[in-house]
Structure formats: C-alpha cells, structure tokens
Structure 1
C-alpha cells in the first residue's frame, strides 16, 4: 500500500511525548519528513533518533513557540531543512492543575493560555504562507472537554473550546487558498495526564474519568494518531472545519457506562508503534515559567 504521506513535510508541535510522539512516529512511518517540536526538556531528540533509526526522516526543534519569533523560526527551519511545508499539527499543550474555579490557580490558567492558545495562534499564523503554496493543512488538538466542559478542569476545557472554534473560522477563511483546517478531540488517553501518579488528577477524578467512557478504557496515543493521519492525508481532501472526536464515546454519553464493559473489551489494542514517551508530558508548570506568564 502506498504510504499516505509520502513526500510531505510536517511540523508536529508537542511532538516529543504523549500523543505527539505517536503522531510524529505515525507520520514518519507513512512517509512524511517530520520536524518534531518541543520545549528544551522534552524528549524530542530521542524521538527523532528513534524515527531515523527506523528509516524515517526527522529533525528536532526546541523552543517556546508561544512567542511570535520562535514560532516563525520553527516554521522557517522546517522549510529550510525539507524544502516546503504541507502539514502543521498544533499538538502542543499543557494540563497543569485540577480544582474548582474559585480555588483554581491563576498561574495555571495563564500557563494554559500561553501553551494551549498562543502556540496554536502563532504557529498557524507563521505556517499559512507556506501551506497556501502547497495547499496543505492544519490539524489542532481540541478535547472532549472543549466540547462538553468538564468540572474541575473548566479553564482547560475553555482553552480547548477556543482552539476548536479558532479552527472552524480558519477553515472557512483559508478554503479559498486550498488550505484545510481541522481538529482532533481526544477523550481520556493513556498518557501522563490521565494517571494520578503523573498528572494533576486525584484518585477519584481518575476513576470517574475512565469509568465515564462508554468503551470502558482509555484510548491509546496511537489510536489518536491514526485520526491525525487521515486528516493530514489526501484521503481527507473534502474535510475541513471538522472536529473528529477520539473519545470512546464520551461526548455522546457522559456517564459511568464504562463499568458495564466486560474486561476483555477494556484492553488497549497493541498498535504498531514503539512509544517510549507516552507517559511524559507537561502536567505541571515549568519552574522557569513561574511568575512570568503575565509579564
């Protein structure tokens, strides 16, 4: 079978961990040259090495893409290294806190504005001149929380609702240039964010989050990456302005119906990718950003 992204060039932000690692490796496996983007402490270098060792093409870019200059430098590096740009994946994001709103840390909210919203804005803005040349596409990370709202993560859901609405408007605006814009809305995925040991959820919230999935389990990063692959490919040539939820049915039925699923159906599929960093990811505020979001 022809590889679905053969000859294409993609940027994957937040590409070194969690869902981003799976997207980077899936795209490379399908023939794309991938610029894997992350912060300095993210394992982007390791992911690039693993892609290259498997016979793919990839390079790393580290920096704070919530700023205009760095976002523009990121896009420029992809074009200089690989000659063009076909796909931008706005996957970068953070999930630093959970609490009721009157107790929710203001700094955590500002941190999400910076990393969930500014990154998508600046990267999309910088990439569009190149995507218009190739009639490429943008795929951004929404969330089931952005569709429905979720208690104790209300500000997080708000940032994802912004991304999803931003993408719809951008899709209509850019259609005349042949640029498609879509979103993927993950539900609870098996990453650092949905485990109490590695993310901000407590035991009760983790239990309710998983048991609220009609399919009775977390999704895998690769299951999400499969949908990104479809939207990035020419197979989705008539799809724009859409949000594809990869959520095990959460947005259709927010309940504890997952308790009724038999144990054999709760097992995650094995997948094809070797993912070393699915449990890495930004689930707390970086020390160097503390006290600086409003400045």
Structure 2
C-alpha cells in the first residue's frame, strides 16, 4: 500500500470523467490524500478499473456510470455520494470530449453538438445537482477549462468556445455562490500527455503534435498528475481564500509566441516521474458515440 496523505481527509468528492486521462489522476490523487471518491464516467470508460486500483492502494472509492449530461443521472450521482458517504464536499467537473480537429468551414455539426452536450451541459447539470449538498458542507467546485478557452486555438475553435463558456460560467458561480459558502474555481490545462494529444489515439495529426510542443516554453506535454496536483490544492482547505480563479497548467503556452519550446532547458523538457500509478492516461473516448 502506498503512503497516504491527509490534505482531503474526511472529504467526499465526485470526479466526472474519472476513468481515464486527467480524471484518473485526479481520482487517485484525491484518494491518496484521504478523500472518499466517486469515480464517475460513461459505461465505456474504465471507471471500475480505476476504482479497483484506488482500493488496492488503500483508498476509498465507489463508481458511477452513466451519461452525466442528463439531470436524472446527475441527481443519481449526487444521491449516490450522499447515501454512501453522508455528504458531498467537492465536485470536479472534469468530463469533456475533443472529437474533431478541423477548419470551421469543415467542422461537423455532429461534433459540435457532441461537445455542447459533454463539455457544457454536463458541467451545468452536475453543478446544479451538487449545489444543494455543497451548501450544507460549504464545499467547492473545480471545473476543467483550457488554454483554448482563454486564447482560442485554430482548428479547435468550437472546442475553445465550449471551454470559454466554462471559464465564464465558473466565474459567475464564484460570485453567485459565495453567499452560500461555496468556492468555485477553474483549472486550465494546456497540452497534456493523454490520448487527446497523440496522433495514434486522438484527432491531432503529426504536424499539430510537433507544433504543440514547440509552442510550449517548457518544451513538452504536461502529465495528468501535474494537473491533478493543482486540482488538489484548489479543492483543499489550503485554497480557502481562492474563488473565481483560473489556474493555468499549460507549461506557459498561453503566453508564448513562436517555437520557444526548442530553447527550453533540458530540466524542463523531462516529465517528472510522479507518484501515481496511472494505467489509463492514454485511454478515453475522443470520437463521437452514436
């Protein structure tokens, strides 16, 4: 069993999109810090495997499978947390899709509708369902934004639009929900080493992958665990005076111009080893499900 921390001791957290990529890392990081975690995702996602891996390492978790863009499933997920663990302290809106890379004139309406459903509606209905419980615990919500939601990215313009919604949505919630003691923040990943940023498993081609690394001042993709570390801080009581904030975890890409990654120091170009056993970082669905 791995050594456990206590930064989330006694907390109950729902993590959407928890079966792979960044979501897997968040679930395992939170569990390793004492949280009781609901690993939520589609039935096609490896949520049960993540659950077993958490339990194997001494953590506490259960899983929920279903389409969380529906109000009924969102309520069932929140009800599961409360019935199993008595409360809800943290909602992580991590679920999202990245189905297509294309010029806007060629971008499919099917992909756009798919993103509206999974990137926007899921965050809306999950936040709505969770807030009554978060009011009781003075809890918090952390949602997944993106570099694309801040600066926009060519050939990803509809995706950036969905993430721009999340940035504005969460800032509005932060102001609105402070009267109930609920904090609301955003984590904005840049290029992360998941299925989305590899030619073999996502929609990017080899030119985009090369350009992505060149444009990142640190000269590499981030790791899911590096992103999960920031979620951990924002979800913990250490961030008690942080609300309405956007924490970019992007290796500096939103500030960069040109192929600056080629000049990065070798110490920056090497990914940290990390502490989590992430078995599903290159899994997750990026294509459209019928």
Q: Which runs of 4+ in 1 moved over 2 A?
A: 262-265
Q: Distance in 2 between matches of 1:151 and 1:235?
A: 37
Kindly indicate whether the alpha-carbon contact (under 8 Å) linking 1:93 and 1:282 is maintained by their aligned counterparts in 2.
no
Kindly indicate whether the alpha-carbon contact (under 8 Å) linking 2:5 and 2:32 is maintained by their aligned counterparts in 1.
no
Alignment of 1:239 onto 2:242: yes
Kindly indicate whether the alpha-carbon contact (under 8 Å) linking 2:190 and 2:248 is maintained by their aligned counterparts in 1.
yes
Q: Which runs of 5+ in 2 are unaligned?
A: none
- SS class of match (2:277): coil
1:154-192 Cα distance to aligned partner (Å, 9 max, x none): 000000000110000000000011000000000000000
Partner of 1:230: 233
Partner of 2:18: 15
- SS class of match (1:10): strand
Partner of 1:257: 260
Counterparts of 1:78-227 in structure 2 under 5 Å?
78-227=81-230
Q: Distance in 2 between matches of 1:75 and 1:208?
A: 41
Q: Distance in 2 between matches of 1:254 and 1:33?
A: 42
Q: Distance in 1 between matches of 2:245 and 2:33?
A: 23
Alignment of 1:61 onto 2:81: no
1:113-167 Cα distance to aligned partner (Å, 9 max, x none): 0000000000000000000000000000000000000000000000000011000
* Offset of residue 282 of structure 1: 2.1
Kindly indicate whether the alpha-carbon contact (under 8 Å) linking 2:12 and 2:35 is maintained by their aligned counterparts in 1.
yes
Q: Distance in 1 between matches of 2:162 and 2:273?
A: 31
What value does the CA root-mean-square deviation take over the aligned residues?
Answer: 1.0
Q: Which runs of 5+ in 1 are unaligned?
A: 290-295
1:77-96 Cα distance to aligned partner (Å, 9 max, x none): 11111110000000000000
Alpha carbons of structure 1 residues 2 and 272: separation in structure 2 relative to 1, 3 Å? closer
TM-score computed with the length of structure 1 as normaliser: 0.96
Kindly indicate whether the alpha-carbon contact (under 8 Å) linking 2:74 and 2:129 is maintained by their aligned counterparts in 1.
yes
